[in-house]
Structure 1
Amino acid sequence: MLHEQRTITQEQAPTLAELFNERCTRSPAGLAYVQHIDGEWCPFTWEQIRAEVARWQAAMLADGLQPGDRIAIMCGNRREWVVCDQAAQGLGLVTVPVYTNDRNENIDWILRDSGARMLMIETCDQWDALSDMHQRLGQLHRVLCLEPGRTGPANLSSLDDWLDTAPADYRCRPGSSDSLATIVYTSGTTGRPKGVMLSHRNILFNIQAALQLFDLFEHDLMLSFLPLSHAFERTVGYYLPMSTGTAVAYNRSIPTLAEDLVAVQPTLMISVPRIFERVYARIMDKLTGESALKRRLFHAAVDLGWAHFEHRQGRAPWQPAFLVKPLLDALVARKVRARLGGRMRFTVCGGAALAPDVARLFIGLGIPVAQGYGLTETAPVIAANPLDNNQPASVGVPLPGIEVRIGTDDELLTRSPSVMLGYWNDPEATGKVIDADGWLHTGDKVRLSATGHVYITGRLKDIIVLSNGEKVPPGDMENAIVLDELVDQVMVIGEGRPYLSALVVPNPEAFERVARNLRLDPANEETCCDENVVSIFMQHVQQRTAAFPGYAQVRQLAVVNEPWTPDNGLATPTLKLRRNEIIKRYQTIADHLYAGH
C-alpha cells in the first residue's frame, strides 16, 4: 500500500529521470544496489550511483547524442544497466533493452529498426558474435563494452577508455510524462519482434497502481535475476523499488541462483513460473528417495500450511491441527525457506500461468507467492493477487485505475494510462490491438469471478481445434505435465488432427535414470524412441492429465532429447515456446504420431 511519506509519487516525479534524482536526493546514503564483484558482495549508495550516472552522461554528451536518440542495452542484470538507463533518461534519450540470449537475427532487427546510435554490451565476445551484421549497423556511433582493455574498430570502446575519471554534474533534463521513455521489443513467439513504445507516464502509473496492492519498505532487499530487458523485471524489479527506496541485489547468473539466495538473504523476489517449477521438481524428486516418515511429514506440513493460509484468507475455519503447525514448520518448512535465504516475505510471479500445485506447495511452506498478469504493451502489470486477497489459481484483481472487460471469444480487453503509445514504426499493428475506444486487445481468453479475480483460460492463437471440432487450450495440460519429475519441457499438439499428442523434452537426470533401469544407453539417440521409454513417459503424462476431459487426453507422444532454448530458436528469451518453430522442427515426428489417421 502506498506510504506517501517515503514513496515517490507520479505527481512528485513525472519522469523516470526525476524519479531517480528524487530518490538520490531523499536517500543519498541509503543502500541502492548490491553486486558481486571480484568474489564479494559490494554495496552502492544512491549518491554513488548518481555520481556514476553523471560521468556516463558527460561521455554521452561528448559523443554528440541528442534528445530522442536511441541507446540499446544488451547486458545481464548489474548496476551498469541502471547507470546506462538513467544516464540516458536524464538526457532525454530513449533506451532499447536487448536480450543477451536473443537470436542474432532478432538483435540485428532491433538495432536497425530502432535506429540505435549506441549499444552497450557486457563483453566484446557479444560484439564478435554479431560480426555478420556489423556492416548493416552503420548507424551505431558507439559500441560500448564493459569489459576492460579491449581494442577494436573505431566505434568499439571499453568503458574505462570511454569514461572520464573526473567527476561530472548530474543532468535531469525537463521532460513530459507523455514523452517516449523506452522501446521494448516483444520477445515474439511468432514473427519479428515488435517495438512497444512506453512513455514515462505508462511506467510510473503502473508503479503507483501496483504499490496500492503491495508494501515495499526501505529495509527490504530484492533479488533481481529475471532479465532487465523483460518489462516485468524492469518495472517491478527496478523502477518500483526505486520509488520506495528498496535496495536491489543482482544475481550473478541462473546457475548460481540457489547460492545467491542463501548469500543475499532477500526479502522480495520477482520470478516466472519456470523457476518455481524447477524447484518444485527438485523437491519432489528428492522426496522419492526419502523415508516414508519424512515424506509423510513433508506432505503434512504442506497440507497444514495450505489450510492455515486458507484460514487467514477468510476462506476456511480455524482447526485444532494448527496447534502443531510450529512443530511441522521447524521440522520441514523452515529448512525449505532457508534455501531461499530464510527472510523471504513474498514473491511475485508473472510471465505465464503458475500451476496450482506449485503455488500450493510454496504457500503451504510459508513462502507467499502472489501471481500477477500483464503484457509488455501495458507497462506491464494488469492484475495481481494482493497478499490478503490471494486466489493462487487466478492472476489476481485488476490494479487500481486499470479497466478490464471481456470481449468477443472471452478475450480480455484492458484500458488504462499504462497502455502503450503504440508499436514503433508500425501503426498498422498498433491499430490491430488498440481499438478506437482505447481498449487494448490482449489475445488472452479469461473469465472473471464474482470476487473480481481474473482467471486465464487460454490464448486465442494457441487454441487447438481437433478434427472433430473440440477446442483444447494446451496451456493447462502443459502446466500439469511439466510438473512431472521426468519432464523438463512439453508441447501438446493436434491442430486439425483426431486426437492430441505431446512432444516431451525429458529432465536429463530423470531420463538417464529411466534409461539405465532399462539397460539402455542414455547417450544413444535411439533411446528416446525405445518403446519402453515412451511407455514410461506416456504413463506419467496420463497420470498428470487424468483429470482432463476425454477429448483432452494425450494419445501419443514422442520423447525429443533436445532442449528448446533461445539459442536454437525454439523458445523466446523469456523461455516461452515458439510453437510454430517447434512444429516445423519436428514435423516428421509429428506426422509419425498420426500415421494411419
Structure 2
Amino acid sequence: MIDFTTTANITAAEALTLPGLLELRAKRSPDAPAYHQYQSDQNRWQTWTWGEIGREVGRWQRALAREGLDPGDRVAILLANAVEWVCFEQAALALGLVVVPLYPWDSPENLAYLLTDSGTRLLFTGSWEQWHPLAAHVPSSAQLHRVLLLTKPDQGAAATSDITFTAISSWLVDTGAQPLPRPTRDPDALATLVYTSGTTGPPKGVMLSHTNILANAEAILKVINCTPGDILLSFLPLSHAFERTVGYYTPMMAGCSVAYSRSMEQLAEDLRTVRPTILISVPRIYEKVYAQVRRQLDTRPFLVQRLFALTLWAGWRHFEAIQGRAHSSLAIEKLLHPLLHHLVARKILDRLGGRIRLAVSGGAPLLESVSRFFLSLGLPLIQGYGLTEASPVVSTNMPGCNLPASVGRPLPGVDCRIGADSELLVKGPGVMLGYWNQPERTREAIDAEGWLHTGDQAAMETGIIHLRGRLKEIIVTSTGEKVAPVDLELLIVTDPLVDHVMVVGEARPYLAALLVPRQEAWEALARKNGVDPDAPSSLQAQDIQETVLLRLKGILHAFPAHAQIRAVALLRDEWSIANGLLTPTLKLKRAVIEERYREVIDGLYRGHDLPA
C-alpha cells in the first residue's frame, strides 16, 4: 500500500527548474504510480513509478549528452503523447536544451517552417513514415542534423540524406554507471519554444522559461485541489501549452498519475478503462458529447425526453444551491435529485468513466448552455482561460465558486485589468519572455509596464472575468454593425445537424455562414425534404436552404436582427487539422477557410438583396 500522505505538492522554489521538479518527485514518492500507457505489443496497460521514470530519464540524458549539443540549442519532439515524450523532454531540459514541441498531425509545410524558424538541430519522431512527408519541405539551409526514430529508418532512403537517422533502440545504449551530466539550474533560462496555432497568420514561437511554467503550475494548485490518488487521462497533445502545463507539469508537482490515451478514436473506451478522476479537455470534446446525447434523445419517446428535462432541472437547482446562489427544497435535495441522478444522469457520466471529480475546459470558450448541461448532470465542470503567452492559465472557476458564464478569477499572483477597446491585459510570473526572433511583435504584445495584451475583449465584475470575443475576430458589416462571430458559432455548433460552422460578413451587408453538416443528420434532413443526400445539387436545394436558415433563426432567436444569418452555404468537405482548416486545438483557421472558400462566400452575396 502506497502512503500518499508523503507526497505533498512541490513548490516552484523547491523545484527551481522543470527537470528539478521531476528529480524531487522521484525522490519524494519513488514507488507511487506516475504514468500508464497501453503497450500494443503486449496487449496491456503498463505502469511506471516516479522512481522508474527518474532512472529512465537518466538513461535518455546520458545518450543525449553524447550529441555534443550546447545549452540553448533547440531540439524538437514530433510524437503523440507517450512516456517516451516525457523522457526525451526531461532529458533535454536537464541539459539546458530548448524543447520545441510539434503537433504530429500538423501539415508537412508548417512543420518544416517551425523546424527552420526555431533552428532545431535534433528531431525526435515516431517513424520513417512520419518523417518522409516532411523531408521534401525541410530546406538544405536548415540546421537539423539528426532525426531520432522510435522505429528503424529506411536505410536506403536515409543514405541519400545529409541528415543522420537513428533508431531509439540503438541510440539508447546501456551507459552503465556513467555519471549524469550536471543538470541546468537556471530557473530563468529559456526552456521551450511553443508555437502558436496561427489562426490569423504565421505561427509565432512563444519563449517560456522554467519559472514561467512552474509558477503557473503552482498557482493552479493553490486554487484547484489535486491529490496523489488522482489519475488524469491525457488525450490533448502535449505540444499544446494547456495540456503541457495543466496535464503534465501540474500532476508532477502534485504527485498525480497520468494515463496516455491510445487515440481519439479509442478515447471512449479508454475513459471506461482508465476511469480518470480528473478530465482536461478543450470545449470541442464536451460539445460532441452534448450533441450526441441530444441526437439520441430526439429519437426517444416523449416521456423519456420529459424525464431527461426534469433531471436537468433538478440537477441545476441542486448545483445552484451548492454554489449558494439559490435555495433548493427538501423534496428536491432528498428525493427527486438523487433518484433522477441515479436513473438518468449516472448513465451518461459512466461513459466518462464514472468517477470524475473534476472536469476542466480550456483552450477556447465553452458555451454556457453546454456547461450547464454537464453541471446539471452532476459533472463538476469548470472553465478557465489562458493563452500560450501566459504559460498558459490566467484565470479559472473553482468547484466551490463556479459561474459557468465566466472564466473565473485570476490565479494567485496574476494581475488582470481592462485596457483600451475592452482588451484584457495580464501581468504575472507566467508572462512569456517574448516571441522568438521577433522583438517588434514582442513589444506589441508586452507594453513598457509589463502588461501582456491578450487580444481578447473582456469585462470584470467583482473580480470575475467575462470574455466578450477576440478583437481581431469582430465582424463589422457594411452597415456599421459589430458582431462577435464566435458567440453565434458556439450556439450553432450545438445543433445536432452541425459539425462545423463559420460566420462571415466583414464589410458585407449581412451575415452568412459556411456550414459542414454531420453525415447522419444530413442524410435524414435531405430525405425528409425529398432530395438525394449524395447528389451534389442537394446542398443548394431551395427547400434545404430554407429549412436550415429557419433552423438557424430558431437557434439565434435571442440575438438582434443584425446578428442573424441571412444566407448559408452547406459544404460536404472535411474540416480537420490534417487539411489545415483547424488548429491543433480544433479552432477555426479563419483566414485559411476564407481563402479556400472565397468564391463560395462571394456567391452568398452575389445578386442577394438584404432580406427583410
The residue type paired with residue 181 of structure 1 is A
Q: 1:564-595 deviations in whole A, cap 9, x for unaligned? A: 22222222222211112211111222122112
Matches within 5 A, 1:331-410: 331-410=343-422
- The answer to whether 1:245 aligns with 2:245 is no
Partner of 2:596: 585
1: CA distance, partners of 2:363 / 2:427: 19
The 8 Å contact of residues 7 and 255 in structure 2, kept in 1 or not, is answered as: no
- The answer to whether 1:509 aligns with 2:511 is no
- The answer to whether 1:185 aligns with 2:195 is yes
2: CA distance, partners of 1:100 / 1:71: 15
Query: Gapped runs of 5+ residues in structure 1?
Result: none
The 8 Å contact of residues 6 and 29 in structure 2, kept in 1 or not, is answered as: no
Provide the secondary structure at the position in 1 that maps to 2:265: helix
The residue type paired with residue 69 of structure 1 is D
Partner of 2:477: 466
The structure 1 segments of at least 4 consecutive aligned residues displaced by more than 6 Å after TM superposition are none
The structure 2 residue matched to 1:155, chosen from 129, 143, 164, is 164
The structure 2 residue matched to 1:52, chosen from 53, 56, 61, is 56
Partner of 1:112: 116
Partner of 1:129: 133
Larger deviation, residues 573-582 vs 372-381: 573-582
1: CA distance, partners of 2:356 / 2:185: 38
Partner of 2:29: 27
1: CA distance, partners of 2:61 / 2:27: 18
Partner of 1:289: 299
The 8 Å contact of residues 503 and 558 in structure 1, kept in 2 or not, is answered as: yes
Provide the secondary structure at the position in 1 that maps to 2:112: helix
2: CA distance, partners of 1:579 / 1:138: 30
The residue type paired with residue 500 of structure 1 is L
Partner of 1:256: 266
Deviation of 1:530 (Å): 1.5
2: CA distance, partners of 1:520 / 1:557: 18
Q: 1:161-185 deviations in whole A, cap 9, x for unaligned? A: 2110344555551421111010101
Q: 1:510-560 deviations in whole A, cap 9, x for unaligned? A: 112222333433232222112222222212211110011111111111111
2: CA distance, partners of 1:131 / 1:88: 23
The residue type paired with residue 343 of structure 2 is L
Partner of 1:224: 234
Deviation of 1:149 (Å): 6.4
Partner of 1:546: 557
The 8 Å contact of residues 17 and 172 in structure 1, kept in 2 or not, is answered as: no
The residue type paired with residue 167 of structure 2 is S
- The answer to whether 1:210 aligns with 2:212 is no
Provide the secondary structure at the position in 2 that maps to 1:136: coil
- The answer to whether 1:86 aligns with 2:90 is yes
Provide the secondary structure at the position in 2 that maps to 1:105: helix
Identity %: 49
Partner of 1:277: 287
The 8 Å contact of residues 149 and 160 in structure 1, kept in 2 or not, is answered as: no
The residue type paired with residue 48 of structure 2 is F
- The answer to whether 1:415 aligns with 2:437 is no
- TM-score if structure 2 supplies the norm length? 0.95
The structure 1 residue matched to 2:501, chosen from 476, 490, 493, is 490
2: CA distance, partners of 1:528 / 1:96: 43
1: CA distance, partners of 2:44 / 2:586: 30
- The answer to whether 1:72 aligns with 2:76 is yes
Q: 1:32-86 deviations in whole A, cap 9, x for unaligned? A: 0000112211111112112211111121111212211111001111111111110
Deviation of 1:100 (Å): 1.0
Provide the secondary structure at the position in 2 that maps to 1:176: coil
**Change in CA separation of 1:5 and 1:222 when aligned onto 2, cut-off 3 Å:** closer
Partner of 1:563: 574
The residue type paired with residue 198 of structure 1 is L
Partner of 1:15: 17
Matches within 5 A, 1:315-330: 315-319=325-329, 320-323=331-334, 324-330=336-342
1: CA distance, partners of 2:606 / 2:307: 47
1: CA distance, partners of 2:317 / 2:6: 35
Larger deviation, residues 582-591 vs 268-277: 582-591
Q: 1:392-451 deviations in whole A, cap 9, x for unaligned? A: 11111100110000000000000001000000111011011100000000000001112x
The 8 Å contact of residues 128 and 152 in structure 2, kept in 1 or not, is answered as: no
Query: Gapped runs of 5+ residues in structure 2?
Result: none
2: CA distance, partners of 1:134 / 1:468: 46
The 8 Å contact of residues 54 and 171 in structure 1, kept in 2 or not, is answered as: no
2: CA distance, partners of 1:133 / 1:477: 38
The 8 Å contact of residues 50 and 170 in structure 1, kept in 2 or not, is answered as: no
- The answer to whether 1:526 aligns with 2:526 is no
- TM-score if structure 1 supplies the norm length? 0.97
**Change in CA separation of 1:4 and 1:410 when aligned onto 2, cut-off 3 Å:** farther
The 8 Å contact of residues 382 and 399 in structure 1, kept in 2 or not, is answered as: yes
The 8 Å contact of residues 504 and 512 in structure 2, kept in 1 or not, is answered as: yes
The 8 Å contact of residues 51 and 170 in structure 1, kept in 2 or not, is answered as: no
Deviation of 1:148 (Å): 4.3
1: CA distance, partners of 2:128 / 2:141: 16
Report the number of matched residues: 594
Deviation of 1:389 (Å): 0.5
The 8 Å contact of residues 143 and 155 in structure 1, kept in 2 or not, is answered as: yes
Deviation of 1:141 (Å): 2.3
**Change in CA separation of 1:137 and 1:128 when aligned onto 2, cut-off 3 Å:** farther
- The answer to whether 1:37 aligns with 2:43 is no
Provide the secondary structure at the position in 2 that maps to 1:130: helix
Partner of 1:165: 174
Deviation of 1:142 (Å): 1.4
The residue type paired with residue 579 of structure 2 is N
2: CA distance, partners of 1:138 / 1:355: 43
The residue type paired with residue 418 of structure 1 is G
The 8 Å contact of residues 62 and 181 in structure 2, kept in 1 or not, is answered as: no
1: CA distance, partners of 2:590 / 2:49: 44
